[in-house]
Structure 1
């Protein structure tokens, strides 16, 4: 076991900052213990690793404990994971410059959640795979597939973490998953082929900046603006990567800021004053915005498995 104590130098919402990396309550790579500590696993450049993150609120410090060959790397990158490199101050300066042009709700949420940060994992392929699994399906369907595939193909997490935790498989493993196991996981051919075709490029993704990774990913079949944005938000901590094409976000932004539904073009127009921090504003609206009333039945989860 290795340990690192990090003093952020200001308030950080650790749980809120790490929550976007969680893929449902049963995520084998992300669990929160009864004492509030967060456990997560990763396939690092040095191999599999497990990280436990806790807070000593009275001392204003974050404590990281790590296990496995990748543990040292996870401790070295702990500040970045928790938004240590996030330019949150630049966002607040932008809000000051906007003055009366800023929306009152955005201003209030920025004030209320001043400890929220956009962190980065620096593991692009690890963020890309679940984003592909979430393409055009309901959340519970994507989360079920993620759990099944990690449980089946991920290796047990190093260390004494919560039972059942797994480490993201190597890119080569994703290339060799047989069609029947994609089927058992509930993943149809298009999403499976997208992941398989992207796996050989994993090394290029990891070495790229957010802008370069956007171009690389979108040059591959099956990866568009939405998937790239969802990946870069998590892997690069890109505060401006907007999930254009999302089923829910345009309505959230439109209803929160104007009281009316809108589409992608309308959403981008409403977010335009916050360019450079548009994803951050969406995160804030997810925390305290309003959604339009539901209309009609919800999209049903599909099931490609045979019994």
Structure 2
């Protein structure tokens, strides 16, 4: 019999549910989650076993329902997953330091940053996103989830995120047909081997230190992880291909920017620098593009 646990949550005024939780899902199709008809379904591995979280609006509330052996665990964390533990009290005073940020902060005042408490699933995705196009990375992510897939509880037809032990026990060449070359695969295998230690990290700083101590995982990857796993609003993805240009263009009118220039422009918003980057993305602010686009490749065909 499938366990089921429910809880009612009270979101803040003007809360934007879809915009707050969409970052939890790989675009277009995520085997481990879906947002449809204004409802979120998300599969997770908990200390008590697999679970599926269902979040849906009911009047002015959110109803969180957990299914499966880990139902109680995921429902207890449902408010964090929905972004309701995100503390934005200090941000309006910082946002007014730049008119663009102030405008976006008003427009997206109902968006909150989720904190899943799940490091390895987001780390898997971040490693796959290193130095390749988003389409290529997400295609590999979907293939890996299906390859290691176990049915998640509930009616949504999801699979549970890959079990770290199963990933760690795999040979690197098993990932080649899934579209991942040896360099990223080796980083993923190292992460899988220490996944339990990563999941026990107390905060964003400890997780960042442990992740970046692993070969093949740098500050960009760590920031992508802690922004979602811990809801860290200050995590900046240093080393990103686009974000320095976006920040330089949006905040200084400069079409190109370096990591150093990006951090200089974001310094007035310290404590919420990652939130500012997210706002610029939500607002559709992008620097002019020059030159050819990065080609989409398939390592599975090499």
- Provide the C-alpha distance between the structure 1 equivalents of 2:274 and 2:171, rounded to a whole number of angstroms: 36
**Deviation digits for residues 54-80 of structure 1 (CA, Å, limit 9, x no counterpart):** 112xx3101112211112111100111
**Contact 1:184–1:306 (CA under 8 A) maintained in structure 2:** yes
**1:13 and 2:7 equivalent?**
no
**Normalised by the size of structure 2, how large is the TM-score?**
0.94
* Structure 1 residue 289 displacement after superposition: 4.6
Shift of residue 94 of structure 1?
3.2
- Aligned mates of 2:193, 2:172 — CA distance in 1: 18
Shift of 1:292: 2.0
Q: Is the 8 A contact 1:252 1:289 kept in 2?
A: no
Structure 2 residue 179 is matched with structure 1 residue 177: no
Q: 1:290 aligns with which of 276, 280, 285?
A: 285
Match of 2:54 in 1: 52
Q: Is the 8 A contact 2:148 2:163 kept in 1?
A: no
Aligned position for 1:160: 155
| 8 Å CA contact retained: 1:256, 1:289 | no
The answer to whether the 8 Å contact 1:118/1:237 transfers is yes
In structure 1, stretches of 5+ residues that fail to align are none
Question: What are the Cα deviations for residues 145-193 of structure 1, in whole angstroms up to 9, with x where unaligned?
Answer: 10001011021111111x3x21112211111233333001110111111
Aligned counterpart in structure 2 of residue 24 of structure 1, from 17, 27, 35: 27
Structure 2 counterpart SS, 1:43:
strand
SS, match of residue 50 in structure 1? strand
1:93 deviation in Å?
A: 3.4
Could you tell me which residue of structure 2 aligns to residue 266 of structure 1?
Answer: 261
**What pairs with 1:101-140 in structure 2 (closer than 5 Å)?**
102-140=97-135
Deviation at 1:296, TM superposition (A): 2.0
Asked if 1 retains the 8 angstrom alpha-carbon contact of 2:57 and 2:63, the reply is yes
SS in structure 2 at match of 1:4: strand
Instruction: Provide the rounded CA distance (Å) in 1 between the counterparts of 2:178 and 2:113.
Output: 31
When the two structures are superposed, what TM-score results if normalisation uses the length of structure 1?
0.93
8 Å CA contact retained: 2:248, 2:262:
yes
Instruction: Give per-residue Cα distances to partners, 1:192-213, cap 9 Å, x unaligned.
Output: 1111111121122122111111
Cα RMSD (Å) of the superposition?
Answer: 1.4
Q: In the alignment, which of 229, 236, 249 is matched to residue 235 of structure 1?
A: 229
1:220 has 2:214 as partner: yes
In 1, Cα distance between equivalents of 2:92 and 2:149: 41
Counterpart residue number, 1:245? 239
| 1:187-206 matched pairs, under 5 angstroms | 187-206=180-199
The separation in 2 between residues aligned to 1:9 and 1:287, in whole angstroms, is 19
Contact 1:183 1:304 in 2 (8 A): yes
Q: Return 5+ residue gaps in structure 2 as ranges.
A: none
Does the residue aligned with 1:38 lie in a helix, a strand or coil?
strand
* Residue pair 2:7, 2:75 contacting (<8 A) in 1 also: yes
**1:207 counterpart residue number:** 200
